Amino acid sequence: EAWTPPRFVFTNTDGYLRIVLPNEAGKSYSIKFFTSDDKFLFELKDIKERSFKLDKTDFYRSGWFKFELYEDGVLKEKNKFFLPKEF
């Protein structure tokens, strides 16, 4: 199965999770995060900022994580991202 990089939620060169949402007026966004085996971690609701980053310490380990991005309650993107291990 080929992996396609996410459009809106991705890791940057520093290993932080970068989130860049469309700048559409009146749209409401939320993101749910899951482990690689689909266990729910946390959710960001009613996101006000269109571009921000999450610290990698918000996730309890390195590895693959899944997410679901919702726009006005409708699934817009479902994908995964990789957080590298720090040495």
- Mean pLDDT taken over the chain: 90
Distance CA 7, CA 78 (A): 10
Rounded mean pLDDT for each run of 10 residues along the chain, 87 residues in total: 83 87 90 95 94 88 93 95 79
Rounded to whole angstroms, how far apart are CA atoms 24 and 22?
A: 6
Share of the chain above pLDDT 70, in %: 98
pTM greater than the 0.75 cutoff: yes
Picking from 50, 46, 3, 47, the residue whose alpha carbon sits closest to that of residue 22 is: 50
